[in-house]
Structure 1
Amino acid sequence: MDTEDTPGGTATEETKPTTWCPSGRADAPESVVLGVRSQSDASVTYLAAPTPAAELLPMIPANIEPTRVLRFASHCVSGCAHRSNNDCTLISKIQMLPAAGEPAVPRCHLRARCQWWRQTGATACQRCPAVSTAYHADDSLSTRVADPAVTPAQLQRWIDADHDAAASDSRA
């Protein structure tokens, strides 16, 4: 594998470094497995080294969505629905969600080239293990976070309204 196409690779002066999306597509040619998803709480345990997705995808049974068990990273592309200029709106929205306790910054082979790290630093890394690339129709908050059409401001208004409604319900 060409080091320029892997998260641990180094750029030469003639090449422009590529940032990587830690919520990438499994089917992208350069895709690597970032980690393995826990069955109990869906958190990610990161691999020590990048493993090409193409090597692991054939091992997943056909009736299991790969994003249910693995977390993928691939190139951050200009055509991504979550891209706004040079920023990722997905991590902006993920950071609006309450963190569970005091999450640690996990060890990760992607960090040196990670778009989320470059954009927001350690706070992105603290939320990253809880990010799911699998779609959950019954989770309206996750659906709104993942929807590229929902802006951070719209998400914040929805969170505030939902929080206000929950507070009213608890007083009733």
Structure 2
Amino acid sequence: MDKEQTWCPSGDAGAPEAVVLGVRSGENGRLVYLADPVPASAVLDRVPEGVEPGRVMRFASHCVSECKHRRGNDCTLVERISAVPGNPEQERVPRCHLRGRCTWWAQTGAEGCRRCPVISTRNTEDDELAALVADPDVTVEQVERWIENHRR
């Protein structure tokens, strides 16, 4: 793994440097982190045909300047993710081989790490909040407003 480059924990599985960050497990689909990085190229051909790799694994790859979630040096995706209230299950910071190079960790510290296990790199149309958070055109304020309007 490149020690100088910052990495995205919601990266592109097809990027040449991509690694598997973890595997989705159990009924709730939470991420179980791998102890050591595994090149995505070594496992992508093992995913059964018709199964989207992002359904069963999370990938990390280099942060790139052309990313739709990038604003200057900041990741707007982790800003929107952090705007969503956490739950008691998310109090512990998971062990992660990416942390020292992770953009989310550098930008938000433990807050982004606590949310990371429940983040999916694919949207489900039946989850309006997840779709809002994933949309690079949506602001943190819009996410917060949606949450406030739906708590009533």
Normalising to structure 1: TM-score of the pair? 0.85
Q: Distance in 2 between matches of 1:47 and 1:103?
A: 20
Corresponding residue number in structure 2 for 1:48:
35
What are structure 2's unaligned runs of at least 5 residues? none
Determine whether 1:157 maps to 2:145.
yes
1:98-146 CA-to-partner distances (Å, cap 9, x unmatched) read 2120521111000000000000101111111011112201100000000
Counterpart of 1:140 in structure 2 is 128
Residue 124, structure 1, aligned to residue 124, structure 2: no
2:31 counterpart letter in structure 1: V
Q: Secondary structure at the match of 2:43?
A: helix
Aligned residues: 151
Equivalent residue runs for 1:1-172 within 5 Å: 6=1, 9-10=2-3, 17-101=4-88, 102-163=90-151, 167=152
Gaps of 5+ in 1: 1-5, 11-16, 168-172
Alpha-carbon distance in 1 for matches of 2:77, 2:36: 25
Structure 1 segments, 4+ long, off by >2 Å, are: none
Q: CA RMSD in A?
A: 1.0
* Structure with the greater alpha carbon radius of gyration: 1
SS for the counterpart of 1:104 is: coil
- C-alpha deviations, 1:80-100, integer Å up to 9, x for none? 110011100100110111212
- How many angstroms does 1:62 deviate by? 1.3
AA at the equivalent of 1:76: C
